[in-house]
Every structure is written in C-alpha cells, then in structure tokens.
C-alpha cells in the first residue's frame, strides 16, 4: 500500500476523461467545479483529449491513456480527477504505463466506470486512489459542501477520519431532497482491512484480468450499483455479488462490507438488501448499508487501497485510517 504526498495550496490537479469526454451542455457545472476546487487552494489543468470524441461520447483509448500517462509523468500534477463516469475506461488499461504510475504515486479520483481504473491502479501498483466525485459531480448543486469537504479531507490525508452521513440526498438534477436515514447495520462486528470495490457492475469487468485485486490479504469491500437494470437492479446486484464471492480468496479474507445508496428507479428496498446479504451466508463480518456513495448526491470519498475500519453495533462507524 503506497500513499502519496498530501496536497498543499497551489498544487495542480489534472482533469482527464478516461471514460467519457466533457459534455457540451455542462459548462455551468464545470465552471462551478473549477471554482470549488480552486477555493481549496488548488490549480486545475486539463488533459489534451478531454473534448475529443471518437465513439460513444469518448476519445480513442490511445488518446485517453496518453492523457493518463501524461498526468502521472508531469511532476507538477499532484492528483488526477476524472471528468465523469461512462462505460469504456477498461479499454485504456493495456495502454497505461504501469511502471510510470507505480513510481509516481498520486491519487486518481472518480466513481462509476472509474471504479475499474482506481482498483486496477491498486492491483498493479499498490498505490492508493479514491472512489469519489468526478469533476462533473463536484459542480453539482445537491449538498455539494458535503461532497467537497469529504474530498478535501482525503487529499490532505487527514488521519483517522470518522465518516459522517449526509443530512439530505437526491438524484442528479431532481430537486426533491430526501432526508438521509441512519446507516443501517445489517450485521454487527468490528473489522479492519484495505478497501477495494466501488460500482459492482464496473468492478465485475476486472474479473479474470491482471487488473483485478488478488484478494490475498484482509480487505473491506465497498459495493453499490446503478439503476441501468431498472426493476431488475436488485437481482443484478445479487448475482454480481455472488460472482465476486466465488472468486479465489474472497471469502477467506473478506472482513467487512460497506454498501452504498441505490437510486430510486432501481426499486431496491431495504428489505431486498437485507435478504441479499442473508442469502450470502456471510456470518461473523460487519455489514453496513445505505452509506453515502453510489449514483446519488452527495457522496463520500473513499480510499481504494487505503486502510478502513468498521465498527457496527447500535451505530455504524466507518473510519479512514490514513
């Protein structure tokens, strides 16, 4: 597990688009993101290909990988932020200079499809990256202070951070706010380990590749899923989860699970989650659900490859041990 130097005022954050290029109708949101990051004291720069489109609203795999390699090569760049999620980041993996990434530890930040990249970075180099907001999300309006504050704490490597739930949440551009419920303890216990995971459908793409973590040491699993399966989201989540649990070393070293928040259109109820967890026979490990990450706003920033502690009893406590 390799960390990076804590960011300082004046440091540069490079925005790249490994998964999907910038959207022409999101200028106001990008402008807000730039202002908010600069309010933390950081500078923003952009990869050469963030506006290019080859197919499926993204640049070619070569262009995207070149932007990633350039960001790791540039000594002025101290962190790398994905423009947004999408579908095709796994095309870049064979084109990344992994020795360069390993020798220049700096965090890659993003969620959804970027799950593939942050976990591959940990698997190939041992470096810490972050499951957290993309540039696009930082410019969103819903409870944005919560999202920005969580990211800021990680970038400066504040130690022993006890995560706190948001007060309200909502989905993307929907103006309806929902009061955030207490994180639910599905199974009690205390656990500690390296955090891996993220969007389950994206994490699934790493199976059988050299870019998947090997699960040979004690780990905590963070999982969530989007609502692209519609009313079948709970079933897709369950079978992808089962597939993961059947991989070598997973059950032997899995210490605890953190489950994110689901979008309403997925029709995944608290009862569904409880039943899915019960069906997996994961006795003796703490499991917490409804945590502030996934495809809703706002969201936490979680260290992939970093140490996390869980204490689940009457209350759910998640601690980041930088």
Question: Which residues form the catalytic set?
Answer: 112, 224, 295
Q: Is 137 helix (H, G, I), strand (E, B) or coil?
A: helix
* Residue with the two structure tokens 């007060």: 167
User: Is 141 exposed, middle or buried, given 0-12, 13-18 or 19+ CB atoms closer than 10 A?
Assistant: exposed
The enclosing H or E element of 268 equals none
CA distance 247 to 207: 8
For residues 58 and 89, is the Cβ–Cβ distance under 8 A? Answer: no
Distance CA 221, CA 320 (A): 14
DSSP H stretches of helix in the chain: 27-39, 61-73, 98-103, 115-125, 135-138, 144-155, 200-203, 233-245, 250-253, 270-279
Q: Euclidean distance between the first and final Cα of the chain, in Å? A: 11
Q: How far is CA 142 from the centre of its chain?
A: 18
Whether the bond between 298 and the residue before it is cis, its omega within 30 degrees of 0, is yes
Phi/psi of residue 166, nearest 5 degrees? -75, 165
DSSP string, 14-29: EEE-SS-PPPGGGHHH
Rounded to 5 degrees, what angle do the CA atoms 169, 276, 221 make? Answer: 65
């Amino acid at each position: 597990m390799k960390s990076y130097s804590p960011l300082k005022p004046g440091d540069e954050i490079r925005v790249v688009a490994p998964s999907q290029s910038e959207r022409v109708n999101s200028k106001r949101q990008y402008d807000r993101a730039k202002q908010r990051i600069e309010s933390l004291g950081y500078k923003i720069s952009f990869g050469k290909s963030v506006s290019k489109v080859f197919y499926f609203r993204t640049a070619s795999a070569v262009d995207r990988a070149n932007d990633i390699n350039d960001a790791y090569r540039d000594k002025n760049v101290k962190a790398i932020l994905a423009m947004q999620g999408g579908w095709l980041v796994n095309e870049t993996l064979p084109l990344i200079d992994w020795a360069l990434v390993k020798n220049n530890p700096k965090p890659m930040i993003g969620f959804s499809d970027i799950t593939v990249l942050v976990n591959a970075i940990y698997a190939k180099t041992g470096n810490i990256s972050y499951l957290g907001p993309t540039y696009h999300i930082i410019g969103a309006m819903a409870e944005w202070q919560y999202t920005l504050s969580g990211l800021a704490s990680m970038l400066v490597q504040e130690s022993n951070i006890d995560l706190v739930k948001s007060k309200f949440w909502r989905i993307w551009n929907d103006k309806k706010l929902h009061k955030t419920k207490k994180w639910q303890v599905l199974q009690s216990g205390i656990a500690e380990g390296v955090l891996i995971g993220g969007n389950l459908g994206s994490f699934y793409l790493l199976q059988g590749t050299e870019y998947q973590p090997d699960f040979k040491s004690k780990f905590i699993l963070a999982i969530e899923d989007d609502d692209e399966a519609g009313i079948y989201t709970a079933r897709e989540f369950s079978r992808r989860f089962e597939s993961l649990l059947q991989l070598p070393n997973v059950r032997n070293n899995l210490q605890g699970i953190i489950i994110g928040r689901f979008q309403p259109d997925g029709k995944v109820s608290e009862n569904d989650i409880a039943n899915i967890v019960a069906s997996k026979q994961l006795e003796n490990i703490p499991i917490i659900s409804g945590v502030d990450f996934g495809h809703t706003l706002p969201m936490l920033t979680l260290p992939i490859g970093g140490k996390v502690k869980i204490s689940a009893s009457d209350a759910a406590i998640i601690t980041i041990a930088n």
